[in-house]
Amino acid sequence: MNKEVRRLLINYKTLEDFQKFREFGLEELSMLEDLQTNIVENDSNSPFYGIYEGETLVARISLYKIDGKYDRYFEPSQSYFELWKLEVLPDYRGQDYGTALVNYAKSLGLPIKTNSRCRADEFWTKMGFSPVKYNLMRDRGENPYIWLPEGVSAQE
């Protein structure tokens, strides 16, 4: 089974596809609001990526590139991806769609920061992410995990 990751265009078809996820996922994890606020028909610079089975969007992720001047996680300071809202439709879970999306993000070569939600710590650890030492001023209630490409380390 081919799990080709594609950048999703920001358009009304994608908006329709996203509504299927809202039914199944936690409301605060839904990307529907993100899409609605970013909608410019067929914007190819979308932060949204997904995997289709036939015509059905079965898994999706958003990757926001954060400018290095805001980096408080990596050494040396640099641009990185903030990985948000990894979601897989219930009927497709356990089939490595989430893994394929995370591996795609890692293939882009920048460090990645995410926050473990819904008791997903084991998943992030399995994917090669490490929890960071909590910093009240930096993390503000989040549960950050980071992935480090070669030559990059965590800030102390």
Residue 68 φ/ψ, nearest 5 degrees: -55, -25
Amino acid at 153: S
Distance CA 94, CA 115 (A): 20
Whether 121 has a pLDDT exceeding 50, the answer reads yes
| From 86-90, 116-120, 149-153, the region with the lowest mean pLDDT | 116-120
Could you tell me where the DSSP H helices lie in the chain?
12-24, 32-38, 97-107, 121-126, 136-139
Question: 64 pairs with which residues across the strands?
Answer: 82
CATH classification of 5-154 is 3.30.300.30, yes or no? no
Contact (Cβ atoms closer than 8 angstroms) between residue 151 and residue 75: no
Mean pLDDT score of the chain: 84
Per-residue model confidence (pLDDT) at position 36: 59
Query: Which pTM does this prediction carry?
Result: 0.81
Q: Where are the beta strands (DSSP E) in 16-101?
A: 48-53, 56-66, 74-75, 80-88
Distance CA 46, CA 62 (A): 9
The H or E element that residue 78 is part of is none
| From 28-37, 41-50, 64-73, 134-143, the region with the lowest mean pLDDT | 28-37
* DSSP SS3 for 33: helix
